[in-house]
Amino acid sequence: MRVVVVGAGLGGLTLAHGLRRAGIDVVVHERDGARGRRQGVSLHLDDRGTEALRACLPPAHLAMVDATTGGPRERTLALSEVDGRLTVVRAQPYDGTTGPARPGRQVDRSLLRAVLLTGLEDAVRFGAEFTRFEERADGAVRAWFADGSTDTADVLVGADGIGSAVRRQHLPHVRVVDTGKRTLMGATPLRAVAGTGLPDLIGHSATTVQVRGTMMVLGVLRFTQPPVAARDRWLPDLRSPVVADAEDYVMWALPVTQDRLGPAGSPTAVWRRARELTADLHPTLRLVVDEAWPEVTVALRGGTIPAMPAWPAGPVTVLGDAIHLAPGFGGNLAMRDAHRLREALVHAARGKQDLITAIGAYEDAMRRDSFPATGATRLEPAPGGAREPLPADRVRGSLAESGA
Ligand SMILES: Cc1cc2nc3c(=O)[nH]c(=O)nc-3n(C[C@H](O)[C@H](O)[C@H](O)COP(=O)(O)OP(=O)(O)OC[C@H]3O[C@@H](n4cnc5c(N)ncnc54)[C@H](O)[C@@H]3O)c2cc1C
């Protein structure tokens, strides 16, 4: 069996590892160049993502991920300003009972992606923008790329994120709707705010701060082991410069409306806007934003994909953000899809099930578990954020196609 995956994101790379470990021929085509672009800051990894990584990654990769997660996030905290001091006013167990979020640990996104790319150097083709596919009479699928090249496989997987070109052709009725919500996100080196007492106050907890009419979300990522030491011990083949650059930081998020965000374009402009919006806040919160790395600041656009009826299974399928969106845990769902799809394809490759039946069973489980009754939402970088602006064709294929 040969599998072509479009998109070297969290889902596509997890799937590629899982297939390769099962001896299945897999190639991943990625639109970005090998240096890529920074895709967000940190990621809350819960049991769904962890289980998928355990099933799909080689042991050394898994050890590297384990060694570089933050501490356990067992509580959520609410902070407020009491007599001029930031104070914990509420603490709740992070046990999934108060919302869809589950307990887990923080991981650095860039580091996780670098780990996932390690060992797949010969399987990932960078600078390969998928444009369309054709299902052939013999059951195979041929994929076309912007440079005129093609690739043919038994299965084509669209793991190409919210603007998925695979989904646009395969499931043209699927709508991506702009919710109108925006969130500014950034990261600040922990050393810059160490003297404020904030890191000790919040520990590893996911934290919401409500002060002077503004809401902010904070989280500290303290690597369990220094990434360089972990790399040297567990995964010496991991050569990405993100390892040496990694240091402990505070992740922050600031929900805003598009009106309040204004026309901010580049990451630095978004960071400047965040500074303006937090200028009246408690000095510690101001410092968090003032001392942030401007170049990693991003403005995210809220999007939602309404739940949809089942479609007939075939040799083309989709996973992750290409088909469902989830606020704060979409990465975990993408990795869970990858794990499930891997199981289905391995089953078929070993002759235990017909290929199309196996893909249909994967899609049934994915639709059942990834769409709450109201559909799902998540944040997509707004044009001009640290991720590149949505080009016109992606906007047409996502937001505009919904009429939003
Ligand atoms: C700032 C931020 C914070 C987040 N925090 C969390 C969190 O804490 N926990 C969590 O679980 N989730 C979080 N998410 C959501 C999570 O990042 C996504 O749900 C997840 O990345 C989806 O993975 P994916 O593999 O489906 O798609 P992606 O990771 O988006 O990967 C898609 C890939 O496809 C490539 N691609 C796109 N089009 C083409 C094409 N035509 N041809 C070839 N390649 C193409 C893209 O370049 C990209 O590399 C966050 C998202 C952001 C932006």
165-217 pLDDT tens trace: 999 999 999 989 888 888 899 999 999 999 999 999 999 998 999 888 889 99
The whole-number average pLDDT for the span 5-31 is 98
Q: How far apart are CA 321 and CA 158, in angstroms?
A: 10
Strand partners, 157: 5, 317
* pTM of the predicted model over 0.75: yes
- What is the distance in A from the centroid of ligand 1 to the CA of 144? 22
- What is the distance in A from the centroid of ligand 1 to the CA of 10? 6
Backbone angles phi, psi at 272, to 5 degrees: -60, -40
Nearest atom in ligand 1 to the alpha carbon of residue 29 is: 43
Strand partners, 216: 209
278 lines ligand 1 (CB under 6 A): no
Percent of the chain at pLDDT > 70 equals 89
Mutate to test the pocket of ligand 1, among 13, 14, 30, 164 (most ligand atoms within 8 A of CB): 30
The per-residue pLDDT for 263 is 80
- What is the distance in A from the centroid of ligand 1 to the CA of 267? 18
Nearest atom in ligand 1 to the alpha carbon of residue 131 is: 41
Q: By the 8 A CB rule, do 43 and 190 touch?
A: no
Residue among 238, 229, 235, 206 at smallest CA distance from 105 = 206
**CATH number (domain holding residue 43):** 3.50.50.60
81-131 pLDDT tens trace: 999 999 999 998 876 665 666 889 999 999 999 999 999 999 999 999 999
260-305 pLDDT tens trace: 788 877 899 999 999 999 999 999 999 999 999 999 999 888 888 9
Q: By the 8 A CB rule, do 332 and 9 touch?
A: no
320 lines ligand 1 (CB under 6 A): yes
Mutate to test the pocket of ligand 1, among 13, 321, 335 (most ligand atoms within 8 A of CB): 321
The whole-number average pLDDT for the span 136-143 is 97
The burial class, CB within 10 Å (0-12 / 13-18 / 19+), for 99 is exposed
- The beta-strand segments (E) located in 294-403 are 298-305, 316-318, 376-381
DSSP 68: T
Sheet with 155-158: strands ordered across? 124-125, 25-29, 2-6, 155-158, 316-318
The per-residue pLDDT for 377 is 44
Q: How far apart are CA 167 and CA 348, in angstroms?
A: 23
Signed CA dihedral, 78, 294, 246, 125: sign only: positive
- What is the distance in A from the centroid of ligand 1 to the CA of 140? 27
Domains of the chain: total: 1
Q: What 3-state class would DSSP assign to 174?
A: coil
- Total residue length of the chain: 404
Signed CA dihedral, 335, 155, 325, 183: sign only: positive
The per-residue pLDDT for 394 is 30
- What is the distance in A from the centroid of ligand 1 to the CA of 89? 34
How many H-runs (helices) and E-runs (strands) does the chain carry? 15, 19
The per-residue pLDDT for 75 is 85
Q: What 3-state class would DSSP assign to 138?
A: coil
The burial class, CB within 10 Å (0-12 / 13-18 / 19+), for 337 is buried
Structural domain boundaries, residue 110: 2-402
The per-residue pLDDT for 401 is 23
* pLDDT: which is higher, 404 or 112: 112
Q: How many CB atoms lie within 10 A of CB 72?
A: 15
User: Parallel, antiparallel, or unpaired for β 177-189 and 249-257?
Assistant: antiparallel
Give the CA distances from residue 41 to residues 33, 100, 184, 190, 364, in Å, rounded to whole numbers and listed in that order.
19, 21, 12, 14, 32
Nearest atom in ligand 1 to the alpha carbon of residue 394 is: 38
- What is the distance in A from the centroid of ligand 1 to the CA of 280? 33
Q: What are the b/e assignments for 36-62, b being 16+ CB within 10 Å?
A: bebbbbbbbbbebbbebbebbbeebbb
- Chain center to CA of 280: 32
Q: How far apart are CA 233 and CA 38, in angstroms?
A: 25
Mutate to test the pocket of ligand 1, among 4, 5, 17, 31 (most ligand atoms within 8 A of CB): 31
